[in-house]
Structure 1
Amino acid sequence: MNDHYYSAKPRSQSDRRAFETTLRGVRLKLNSDAGVFSRDGVDYGSRALIEHMEFPADARILDIGCGYGPIGLVAARLAPQGHVKLIDINERAVELARLNAKANGIGNVSFAQSDLYEAVEGESFDAILSNPPIRAGKAVVHRVFSEAFGRLNPGGELWVVIQNKQGAPSARAKLEEIFGEDEVAEIAKDKGFRVYRAKRSKNE
């Protein structure tokens, strides 16, 4: 398979579709397309992360691997005085996320096509959110974790969701290695998914 949802330029024929869903009490009209992650509806892992993620109402937030935007757009609603930056390597996904923000009247957001954290070099955040691209391989997932640390403000948090059978135990071990064992917590278990929160110490 040559065309993955983590391809920069999907080669699959566009087949855009629209649907509505409610996430964390937020009703959204969403457009998805071929060549993006979970094109037929918001996946269970993203839903689990959305239900449990927490941050201040004025937080500066990064959604890495945003897809067509459900996690980041709900985050923007939950942080009305803050700002959410949505990034993805997939240009089609970024364009959809931008379209979905506009369709739902969500303005405290910005977007960039980005290979991992490339487009946010020099920026820092109070929270980073990720449903990491498991199919891209463990090395990529671990870079999402390790490179998040230096982009979090002191006291900032990385929130991730990962399926048990797709490596949740090793993901937690990696997070503990990066952030420290006492700074990583399992926030939720939901149908085989784990939601983890890793906190950058305020003293770092």
Structure 2
Amino acid sequence: MIVYNNNEVELKFKTNDKVFSPKAIDTGTLSMLSKVDFVPTDKVLDLGCGYGFVGIYAGQFICPSQVIMSDISDDALRLAKENIALNNMNGIKVVKSNGLDNIDDSGFTLILANPPYHEDFSVPKNYIEKGYKKLAMGGKMYLVTKRKEWYKKKLITVFGGTKIYEINGYYVFLAEKKEYRKHVNKKNVNHLSKKLARKKLKK
């Protein structure tokens, strides 16, 4: 059992050795959450939830019914459900999903994830590419990793940019879904203006 205290709220978590970071809340996860500001209207996806810390933590600040937690592991999902009940966070939805493959909801304002470090990049690739599509406009994705360059390049490719914070030996990435705006340079604008002027003179 892990006990976590924050803002005078005590959270408790059952764990076992089949899930990530079973003896203490992961430092990388806490580093990521230190950069997240929750607002009451948020809709949150805890992606790769493990025993449910991130989603239940989010439930302190927003309505639990606005939180979805997902994982591919049956052990993780069972523990997450037990911990939801243990912390009186009824309303949080738990979904078995390989990445975002089975996530039917969309319009998330926050997607929070701590992808596996020691595998190939197929998992974070799924998170980033499909997560972008599931975010509301202006929605944000936070990822925490031990690696930098691949995530930086991938997030820039998909989102157009990313912020990177170095905290406690981890990289915390923040990428925001923004409206695409076509940039027109001055030369083109002047050219179009002259064409329109010539058309008016002909009339």
- TM-score, normalized by length of structure 1? 0.81
**Aligned mates of 2:71, 2:8 — CA distance in 1:** 25
Which stretch has the larger CA shift, 130-139 or 77-86? 77-86
- What is the SS of the residue equivalent to 1:46? helix
Contact residue 48 and residue 72 of structure 2 kept, 8 A: yes
Counterpart amino acid of residue 44 in structure 1: T
**Aligned mates of 1:23, 1:158 — CA distance in 2:** 23
**Aligned mates of 1:173, 1:85 — CA distance in 2:** 28
Counterpart amino acid of residue 171 in structure 2: R
Structure 1 stretches lacking a partner, 5+ long: 1-17
Q: Which has the larger strand fraction?
A: 1
Confirm or deny that 1:99 pairs with 2:77: no
Confirm or deny that 1:185 pairs with 2:163: yes
Q: Which position in structure 2 is the counterpart of 1:128? A: 111
- The correspondence for 1:78, drawn from 38, 61, 68, is 61
Confirm or deny that 1:195 pairs with 2:172: yes
Contact residue 64 and residue 116 of structure 1 kept, 8 A: yes
Taking a change above 3 Å as real, the CA distance of residues 119 and 172 of structure 1, as seen in their structure-2 partners, is: same
**Aligned mates of 1:73, 1:81 — CA distance in 2:** 8
Structure 2 stretches lacking a partner, 5+ long: 182-203
- TM-score, normalized by length of structure 2? 0.82
Taking a change above 3 Å as real, the CA distance of residues 201 and 35 of structure 1, as seen in their structure-2 partners, is: same
Contact residue 20 and residue 29 of structure 1 kept, 8 A: yes
Q: How many residues align?
A: 181
Counterpart amino acid of residue 111 in structure 2: I
Aligned residues with identical type, % of pairs: 25
Query: How large is the Cα RMSD of the aligned pairs?
Result: 1.9
- What is the SS of the residue equivalent to 1:117? coil
Q: Which position in structure 2 is the counterpart of 1:9? A: none
Alpha-carbon offset, residue 190 of structure 1: 1.2
1:133-172 residue pairs with structure 2 within 5 A? 133-163=116-146, 167-172=147-152
Q: Which position in structure 1 is the counterpart of 2:36? A: 53
Larger Rg: 2
**Aligned mates of 1:131, 1:46 — CA distance in 2:** 7
Contact residue 161 and residue 193 of structure 1 kept, 8 A: yes
Contact residue 125 and residue 153 of structure 1 kept, 8 A: yes
Contact residue 24 and residue 51 of structure 1 kept, 8 A: no
